């Protein structure tokens, strides 16, 4: 199985400041044939199901605010919240959609 490792486990950020979450895959999750990285970022607020923010490592889902962005460097993936808002307090998960069994990171809790 591909192991997805997130860091840090938790993060405290002031409102309006930048939050950065990292996710490392144990193997490649990128197809050279289409140059796509099969990495999804989710946000999960308390009592809610996960909500997709970013797919293919850097493509924002429709309706997601542009303060959320994703990037990739090798097998290291980053989710950035450029200016933290109160409603962004949540747990964030990465997930590889490259190979079954599809696997998730352990989650990163973002607090104010």
Partner 1 sequence: QVQLQESGPGLVTPSETLSLTCLVSGGSLMNYYWSWIRQSPGKELEWIGYVSDTGATHYNPSLQSRVNIFIDAFKNELSLQMSSVTAADTAVYYCARHAGTGLDRRAFDIWGQGTKVTVSS
Question: CB–CB of 30/37 below 8 Å?
Answer: yes
The upper half-sphere exposure of residue 12, i.e. CA atoms within 13 Å in the direction of its Cβ, equals: 0
Q: What gap in Å lies between CA 84 and CA 90, rounded to an integer?
A: 11
Min separation Cβ 107 and partner 1, Å: 6
Identify the residue whose tokens are 């192991």: 3
Footprint on this chain of partner 1 (rule: CB under 8 A): 31, 33-34, 36, 38, 40, 48-52, 55-56, 59, 61, 91, 93, 95, 97, 100-104, 106-107
Q: Which is nearer to partner 1, 14 or 34 (CB)?
A: 34
Min separation Cβ 18 and partner 1, Å: 24
Min separation Cβ 79 and partner 1, Å: 14
């Amino acid at each position: 199985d591909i192991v997805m490792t997130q860091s840090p486990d938790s993060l405290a950020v002031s409102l309006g400041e930048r939050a950065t979450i990292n996710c490392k895959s144990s193997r490649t999750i990128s197809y050279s044939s289409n140059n796509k990285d099969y990495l999804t970022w989710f946000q999960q607020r308390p009592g809610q199901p996960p909500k997709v923010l970013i797919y293919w490592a850097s493509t924002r889902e429709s309706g997601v605010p542009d303060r959320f962005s994703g990037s990739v460097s090798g097998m290291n993936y980053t989710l950035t919240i450029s200016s933290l808002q109160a409603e962004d307090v949540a747990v964030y998960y990465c997930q590889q959609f490259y190979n079954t069994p599809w696997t998730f990171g352990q989650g990163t809790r973002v607090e104010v």
